[in-house]
Chain A
Amino acid sequence: SQTIHQWPATLVQPVGSPLSLECTVEGTSNPNLYWYRQAAGRGLQLLFYSVGIGQISSEVPQNLSASRPQDRQFILSSKKLLLSDSGFYLCACPASGANTGELFFGEGSRLTVL
């Protein structure tokens, strides 16, 4: 079974500072990878997904970006954080090889922008 590691688990950053959240996946190869954001403890918003190395699809226009430098590594970045970027960021990958929609989530990274 797969394992998703996210770090840092918690982050407090000032407005205008850069951001880098990292997600690595074990136990699977060539997975689709997803970044979701959850604001105020409710609702999961899909930010980015990737079907392979270097392939990123953006769902919501914003000041965030994503990269996939390796098969099992997915990075969420920002050059200048906004207050509205605060939230709980979740990395996910399919729970099985088939495209049935079942996603397995990491433990999340909580970002507070002050």
Chain B
Amino acid sequence: GQQLNQSPQSMFIQEGEDVSMNCTSSSIFNTWLWYKQDPGEGPVLLIALYKAGELTSNGRLTAQFGITRKDSFLNISASIPSDVGIYFCAGHGGGSNYKLTFGKGTLLTVNP
């Protein structure tokens, strides 16, 4: 089945630093998604990417859909304490494929 490799597994940074995380896949996806999960809650969608090469921003977050359609990255600029959480990438094959494949997550800790 499809697998996503997400890295790094965890990050410890100082407030104000920039963060970068990425996902690679063994197969092509039609949609790349980035979610954030706060402790004890369900994941919340941050950014959705629908086209190869697409670069999308949401406030301090920027994500890109790789040209090969097999990878994506998420950048967070000027991190703040509330950025703490687990960030997941996810890929969707489109069409009649109803399933979303998730990466294993990046645990982000921001020290004030």
A interface vs B, CB < 8 Å?
4, 32, 34, 41-44, 46, 49, 51, 59, 90, 92, 95, 99-108, 110
Contacts and interface: CB of A to CB of B under 8 A. Distances in A.
Contact of A41 (B31, B44, B86): B86
Interface majority SS on A: helix, strand, loop or mixed?
Answer: strand
B107 A42 contact: yes
Interface residues of B, number: 29
Contacts of A34: 100
A99 B94 contact: yes
A93 B42 CA distance: 12
Nearest to B106: A42
B73 interface: no
B102 A108 contact: no
B63 interface: no
Nearest to B43: A105
Contacts of B88: 44
8 contacts: A44-B88, A59-B99, A90-B43, A92-B42, A100-B48, A103-B33, A103-B45, A107-B41
Contacts of A4: 42
A46 B104 contact: no
B21 interface: no
B45 A104 contact: yes
B43 A49 contact: no
B33 A101 contact: yes
Interface-centre pick from B48, B91, B93, B100 (highest chain A CB count, 10 A): B100
A49 B40 contact: no
Contacts of A49: 98-99
A100 B31 contact: yes
Interface in B28-57: 30-31, 33, 39-45, 48, 50
Contact of B98 (A90, A99, A106): A99
A51 B102 contact: no
Contact of A101 (B44, B86, B100, B107): B100
